[in-house]
A and B are shown apart, each in its own frame.
Chain A
Amino acid sequence: MSYGFTMWGANGNVMYDSTSVTWNQVDFYVVGAGSSNTRTFNSLGGKEVKVVMFFIDPPYTSRKATSHTASLSNGNKTISISGGSESMYILVLMR
């Protein structure tokens, strides 16, 4: 690496450097069954954003468990969640 930064641990091992890639957590929240939610984070403008959803307690055998859908707009600054029949955790990541 000819430029950037490196952080070493106490034993001289590399803990982190600027060739590493990571994701930062923007938010982690619940959107309930049948509900919708829109959040805007102005500092996400121009950043790469990923929205990941987790079912909280999906039924297996009694009915159809449809997931929410997520959409990004406003230059990735606005996250809209809607349409699912189940409560889900919404994890927003950026880098």
Chain B
Amino acid sequence: MSFGIEATNTGGQVLISSEFKNLHFKYKKTSPDYVDSNSNGLFGGCKVMRYRFYLSETPVPFFHVPSGHSCAVTAVKSVSTGVWDIELVTNGVNPEVYVFATEAVVIPGETHGLQVFNSSSQVTFDSRAAPLLVTGLITISQPGQPSSSYSSSGFEADGCATGVGTYSNSFTPNNTTWYNPGLPSKPLMFFSSTAQAEREVHVQKEEDECDGFWLKGDCVGFRRNYDYDSWYWAFYRNTIRWSGSSIGSTWCVAAWGCHWEYNKDSYAFGISNGGSSSSGGAWPYSNETINTFNNTVIIGNAAYYD
């Protein structure tokens, strides 16, 4: 850098730069503009929510949730010019979403401070505009399994007949990997979820009908063999939660569904004479975990911006 200002701390970390812009607090929202009502109360209370922000530049979203509840930013989308939707997955609560951006908007009444400009006369730092203050940073990975066990007990094999209200608890995530970075009393967290997992429970049933009689396991007459398969699945996104001074990496269900197949084979006196099959439902992939590279969690103090 041949001109300008660069303030660093004793660790060599850049605090203020006239070349790159600091992030400044813009505003926060405490309730979503959209909630996926279909997921209400299922899978441990996981819900997909969207918060809409009106901002002239790309928002950098942080969030706060009460202790014990998990959350993650799962998508950021430009709806139209200056309109942004931030999608989060959370369980049981409405996160408080704090948005930061490079533009500095001075807090009303703040008349003292320091401004730094770049060579284009744009403000890169303004101490009156609540610059982002970071209290910690950790890199996390994900628990290998969202839930410690998946049981097929109680699932119907025939045509995905079991209702989601009956089976959702079987997919409720219960594994967490903990880290201890130290936290303020009201932690503010930045976490963009990229890791995803699909887990499924496969149930199968076979039935035989014989118009005639069975002789040593074979049908003497007309036989029909029915094969039913259902794959009940849940789609997880990596989320984080906090307790005391620790942050946990865990999972939350963002979507679910069921895929089924049906096959019928017919025989006359042991000789095949046709059959039929059908299927329905869709699923993203089978029993895989993807995008599992380590993710960054940036930690701040939400109380500073309230």
Contacts and interface: CB of A to CB of B under 8 A. Distances in A.
B112 A8 contact: yes
A15 B127 contact: yes
A62 B198 CA distance: 12
Contacts of A19: 9
Interface in B176-215: 190, 192, 194, 196
Given A43-B19, A57-B77, A58-B75, A28 B284 contact: no
Interface in B90-118: 102, 107, 109-114
Nearest to A59: B284
Nearest to B111: A10
Interface in A34-70: 43, 46-48, 50, 52-67, 69
B175 to A, nearest CB: 21
Contact of A60 (B107, B114, B130, B254): B254
Nearest to B21: A25
Interface stretch (B147-155, B271-279, B285-293): B285-293
Interface residues of B, number: 58
A91 B74 CA distance: 14
B298 A23 contact: yes
25 contacts: A7-B113, A10-B109, A15-B131, A16-B131, A19-B9, A21-B13, A22-B133, A22-B134, A23-B134, A25-B23, A26-B20, A28-B57, A28-B60, A48-B13, A50-B137, A52-B192, A52-B296, A55-B75, A58-B74, A60-B284, A61-B284, A65-B284, A66-B290, A69-B293, A89-B58
